[in-house]
Amino acid sequence: MAETTPTVQFLSVEGEFAPTEAAEEYASYLDELGEDDLRRFYRQMSVVRRFDLEGTNLQRQGQMALWVPSHGQEAAQVGSASAARPQDHIFPSYREHAVGLVRGIDVLSIVELLRGNTHGGWDPTDPTNGNFHGYCLVIGSHTLHATGYAMGLQRDGLVGTGDDSVDAAVLAYFGDGATSQGDVSEAFVFSASSQTPNVFFLQNNQWAISVPVRVQSRTPLYLRSRGFGIPSVQIDGNDVLASYATTAKHLADARAGRGPQFIEALTYRVGAHTSSDDPTKYRSNAEEQFWIARDPIVRFGAYLRGLGEGDAFFEEVRVEAEDFAADIRSRTLALEAPPIGTIFDHVYSEPHPVMAEQKLWLERYEASFEAAEEDRS
Ligand SMILES: Cc1ncc(C[n+]2csc(CCOP(=O)(O)OP(=O)(O)O)c2C)c(N)n1
Ligand SMILES: [Mg+2]
């Protein structure tokens, strides 16, 4: 069945512009892209690739409890996120570093989150954070949050007005493993029932930790949503143009009030699931090499070279990515531990007497060690 799936792809593995038949209906969306946009796609994918490497290194050097690699998924993320408008809302899972970068968050806040310095990382209500909502580690649950949020947009009259600066949609990212969660099916039901402005963007990176996608689903995952009445498409997720064009179209449909849409982006998690995982225990080197040969950045670089981009541009991007990583490193090393009492600060949205009491107790308890230390010296 998978062999006959009509996948949307614009760029061949070698980086030549060779749209598949399924790509034709999306081709006009590429007309919106100028040369600067194409260069920005390459730049952002490269910067995030380097950021991801720095995150991995910093975790190994004891600077973070955990790191979640995004290596390999840059095209799926940069293309789709670039198709969103400022007023759209984004609900990520936990691997969407490139999406966060495109939406304008300071990605150091991802480091702060995974270091345990903050609870949420960034404030999604801060206008500088591009409506990029919090990372969600409870698999699939945020597809329900995204559906609820889209219901709100609908009820606030922000869908289908015909005004490009007003109409909004919600873009939710999740993984192949998440589709096995009941929450995702429930999100599909509610979204289809209310015809909410949702685009469900699945990054099928072939693995849910150590469980391969073929075990989780006997049919291609893009077919899943159709049983719920949600139109769907499968794309080459390592082709940034396919990711951009399909998301642009389906977000436009959602904003216009044509209901929820589903995109399955075929990609690969090249690194470990997280820094706590060792993928050599469950997958083969041959499989990894198959996907590394389909690297999204190498492919898009070849395309840009074909358009006439030269060494100077690629060197400039390399230096920018290095500088970006160096800046992340120095700011990470300068982070200070937050006061211990902050763990109680956001348990309730409003002040709570029990939390206040526990916070005071913990602060006194911690201070007692300092007092004991002073007595000894
Ligand atoms: C509700 C829930 N069940 C189990 C887990 C443990 N868990 C963390 S990541 C993961 C796999 C998710 O795979 P997928 O959705 O494909 O996303 P990917 O990590 O590949 O991006 C699981 C089972 C969890 N975090 N939440
Ligand atoms: Mg996965």
Percent of the chain whose pLDDT exceeds 90: 94
7-14 average pLDDT score: 97
- Cα end-to-end distance, the chain, whole Å: 74
**Same domain, yes or no, for 325 and 348?**
no
**Same domain, yes or no, for 327 and 353?**
no
Distance 349 CA to ligand 2 centre (A): 33
45: nearest Cα among 245, 295, 287? 295
For ligand 1, pick from 93, 139, 200, 210 the residue to mutate: most ligand atoms within 8 Å of CB: 139
Query: Does the CB atom of residue 137 touch ligand 1 within 6 A?
Result: yes
**Same domain, yes or no, for 346 and 302?**
no
**Same domain, yes or no, for 267 and 129?**
yes
Return the half-sphere exposure (C-beta side, CA atoms, 13 A cut-off) of residue 259: 16
Query: Does the CB atom of residue 265 touch ligand 1 within 6 A?
Result: no
Q: Helix (H, G, I), strand (E, B), or coil: what is residue 115?
A: helix
**Same domain, yes or no, for 247 and 292?**
yes
Q: What is the pLDDT of residues 74-124, one digit of tens each?
A: 999 999 999 999 999 999 999 999 999 999 999 999 999 999 999 899 999
pTM: 0.96
**Same domain, yes or no, for 188 and 121?**
yes
Calculate helix-pair angle for 35-60, 108-115, nearest 10 degrees: 30
Distance 138 CA to ligand 1 centre (A): 7
Q: What is the pLDDT of residue 80?
A: 99
- Among the candidates 318, 333, 348, a domain finishes at 333
103: nearest Cα among 150, 171, 35? 171
On whether residue 203 sits in a domain, the answer given is: yes
**Same domain, yes or no, for 366 and 321?**
no
Distance 290 CA to ligand 2 centre (A): 17
On whether residue 104 sits in a domain, the answer given is: yes
Main-chain dihedrals φ then ψ at residue 323, nearest 5 degrees: -65, -40
- Catalytic residue selected from 282, 331, 346, 352: 282
Calculate helix-pair angle for 182-194, 141-155, nearest 10 degrees: 10
**Same domain, yes or no, for 164 and 252?**
yes
Q: Using the atom order of ligand 1, give the atom closest to the CA of residue 174.
A: 15
Query: Which CATH number fits the domain that encloses residue 172?
Result: 3.40.50.970
Report the alpha-carbon distance of residue 115 to residue 66 in Å, rounded: 7
Q: Confirm if 133 and 215 have CB atoms less than 8 A apart.
A: no
For ligand 1, atom 23, the nearest C-alpha belongs to 208
**Same domain, yes or no, for 309 and 348?**
no
Report the alpha-carbon distance of residue 208 to residue 93 in Å, rounded: 13
On whether residue 54 sits in a domain, the answer given is: yes
Q: Rounded to the nearest 5 degrees, what angle is found at the Cα of 250, between the Cα atoms of 271 and 46?
A: 30
Q: Confirm if 98 and 45 have CB atoms less than 8 A apart.
A: yes
**Same domain, yes or no, for 254 and 372?**
no
Q: What is the pLDDT of residue 1?
A: 41
Main-chain dihedrals φ then ψ at residue 296, nearest 5 degrees: -65, -30
Query: Does the CB atom of residue 115 touch ligand 1 within 6 A?
Result: no
Q: Using the atom order of ligand 1, give the atom closest to the CA of residue 205.
A: 20
- 273 is an active site residue: yes
**Same domain, yes or no, for 132 and 175?**
yes
Distance 218 CA to ligand 2 centre (A): 16
Which residue spans within 192-330 are E strands per DSSP?
A: 198-204, 207-208, 211-212, 232-236, 261-266
Q: What is the pLDDT of residues 150-168, one digit of tens each?
A: 999 999 999 999 999 999 9
Q: What is the pLDDT of residues 29-77, one digit of tens each?
A: 999 999 999 999 999 999 999 999 999 999 999 999 999 999 999 999 9
Q: What is the pLDDT of residue 4?
A: 62
Q: What is the pLDDT of residues 342-368, one digit of tens each?
A: 989 889 999 999 999 999 999 999 999
Distance 79 CA to ligand 2 centre (A): 18
Percent of the chain whose pLDDT exceeds 70: 99
Report the alpha-carbon distance of residue 76 to residue 91 in Å, rounded: 15
- Relative to the alpha carbon of 69, which ligand is closest? 1
On whether residue 118 sits in a domain, the answer given is: yes
On whether residue 10 sits in a domain, the answer given is: no
73: enclosing H helix or E strand: none
**Same domain, yes or no, for 39 and 104?**
yes
Q: What is the pLDDT of residues 258-301, one digit of tens each?
A: 999 999 999 999 999 999 999 999 999 999 999 999 999 999 99
Q: Residue 255 corresponds to which amino acid?
A: R
Does 3 score more than 70 pLDDT? no
- Catalytic residue selected from 269, 294, 299, 303: 269
Query: Does the CB atom of residue 205 touch ligand 1 within 6 A?
Result: yes
Range(s) of the domain holding residue 209: 21-333
207-208 and 89-91: which strand pairing?
unpaired
Number of domains in the chain: 2
- 346 is an active site residue: no
Q: What is the pLDDT of residue 205?
A: 98
On whether residue 9 sits in a domain, the answer given is: no
Report the alpha-carbon distance of residue 375 to residue 206 in Å, rounded: 58
On whether residue 16 sits in a domain, the answer given is: no
Does 233 score more than 90 pLDDT? yes
**β-sheet bridge partners, residue 235:** 8, 265
